[in-house]
Chain A
Amino acid sequence: MEHKTKNGYEGLLIVIEGTDGSGKSTQLELLKKSIQDKSYGVMVSEWKTSRLIANVIDDAKERNLLNATTYSLLYAADFADRLENQIIPALKSGFIVLLDRYFYTALARDVVRGQCIEWVKNLYEYAPEPDLVFYLDMPVDVLLKRIIGTTGLDFYESGRDVGFSTDFYKSFEIYQNKCLEQYNKMKEIYNFRSIDGTKSIQEIHKIMNDEVQKLLDSGILA
């Protein structure tokens, strides 16, 4: 049977992208609730949560065991496992699948780590195209403050494994800037629905909710 969705299955695939501290998780929760309220089946899946490999990644990160290539491949394995075992089955059953990050995250991070973009794209080339990608666009200075004020400077999230600088803050600043640069390049290529991340939580939620409603009103799930 032919489906109207871009992802090719019966359900909807909606992604929220953005760097750390851009407010993805908060928006995901709100969006999940509002879609549930409309009586649709919703499934949420977050980056790096596969039963197969997520704890291996955490453990390896803790022990600084990763090089750029194993970093890429482990995340690709995590993604493949979630895609095959959670995401695609849910899409096939007609769920609205909400994702916290998609392979765009890998593209940004891996390329910043020096991987060839074509090589990384190949790792994810089988991933279905989302029906909607929200991108929470944040100016870097706001982002830096948010991360420092909440989770603090994580080793990999500051790109310290890449060795940009021995100064923790400097390294963090360079890494996040480079990630943003990659995201900015992807905006057009992957048709991101970019949202100003400095708007209030409710404002952002309204934009997302309206977009989703528009999609649903178009009869895409019929």
Chain B
Amino acid sequence: MGRLTEKHNLKGTLVCVEGIDGSGKSTQLALLRDWLKATGQDVIFTEWNSSELISQTTKLAKKKNMLSPRTFSLLHAVDFADRAKQVIAPALKAGFIVLADRYAYTAFARDVARGVDPQWVRKVYDFAYKPDLAIYFDIDPKTSLERICFNRTPKFYEAGMDLKLSSDPYESYMIFQGRVINEYNKMVDEFGLIKLDANDSIHSKQVKIRELLREVLREKGIEV
């Protein structure tokens, strides 16, 4: 595989957070961003499925349940490629700290859980730079479900209803997200994801993340 397994030699620093919904990754990334900004670092934030090019199309297609595992995968790859070339790469070259809420690993976890070939999807994303720090927030599907669906039913694709695992969205969510977690766990070794327990307090997780990032930055000669 290409870039995803090789250290990039760009000035900037790439940090990503991973995990299923409700694992608290966005909260942690927001706290990290505020802290870095307060210390005067150049920070850029980018999140999954947010490109100008395609994110609206993908959202609409999801609403209409129009996506197969393969088109689901490819549309998210379009989104990622757009942000990778438009936002992430230029920022890394300019020396920014890039904070990514979800990265290629999200595709590897979700798409493979949908039955897409693991090698195929890895190759699709082989233009992606390897993050300097990739954190995976580990949570069980039940806690995730309680956190994100306390006032709504799980959505069609997040519950993996397209796979027809169960006609009950709650049960389908549990099975599908269980598979996604399974894929994440495989990637801990494969890509060197750093696994944190999502059940820890917001504070203790943030302390840990800052420690990890400080170390990464120190290697690049940046003291925070």
Q: Which residues of A are interface residues toward B (Cβ below 8 A)?
A: 51-53, 56, 60, 65-67, 69-70, 73-74, 76-77, 80-81, 84, 119, 122-123, 125-126
Contact = CB atoms under 8 A, between A and B. Distances in A.
A65 to B, nearest CB: 5
B85 A69 contact: yes
Chain A CB count within 10 A is highest, among B52, B61, B68, B78, for B78
A80 B85 contact: no
B53 A60 contact: yes
* Chain A, interface SS category: helix
Given A73-B78, A119-B126, A56 B54 contact: yes
B59 to A, nearest CB: 12
Contacts of B127: 69, 119
Contacts of B70: 80, 84, 126
A114 to B, nearest CB: 11
Interface size class of B (residues with CB under 8 A): 20 to 34
Chain B CB count within 10 A is highest, among A52, A56, A66, for A52
A123 B124 contact: yes
Contacts, number: 63
B78 A70 contact: yes
17 contacts: A51-B66, A53-B57, A53-B71, A65-B82, A66-B53, A67-B82, A70-B54, A70-B85, A73-B124, A74-B54, A81-B68, A84-B71, A119-B123, A122-B123, A122-B124, A125-B120, A126-B70
Interface string B69-93: 0110011011001101110000000
Contacts of A119: 123, 126-127
Given A53-B57, A67-B81, A119-B126, A73 B120 contact: no
Interface string B40-53: 00000000000011
Contact of B71 (A66, A81, A123, A125): A81
Interface of B: 52-54, 57, 61, 66-68, 70-71, 74-75, 77-78, 81-82, 84-86, 120, 123-124, 126-127
Given A51-B66, A122-B120, A122-B123, 20 more contacts: A52-B57, A52-B71, A53-B71, A56-B53, A60-B53, A67-B81, A67-B82, A70-B81, A73-B74, A73-B77, A73-B124, A74-B78, A77-B71, A77-B74, A77-B78, A80-B70, A80-B74, A122-B124, A126-B70, A126-B120
A123 B120 CA distance: 8
Contacts of A53: 57, 71, 75
* Chain B, interface SS category: helix
Contacts of B84: 69
B124 A70 contact: no
A52 B66 contact: yes
A129 to B, nearest CB: 18
Chain B CB count within 10 A is highest, among A77, A80, A126, for A77
Given A56-B57, A119-B126, A122-B120, A69 B81 contact: yes
Contacts of B54: 56, 70, 74
B187 to A, nearest CB: 20
B61 to A, nearest CB: 6
B108 to A, nearest CB: 15
Nearest to A72: B81
Nearest to B116: A126
A76 B74 contact: yes
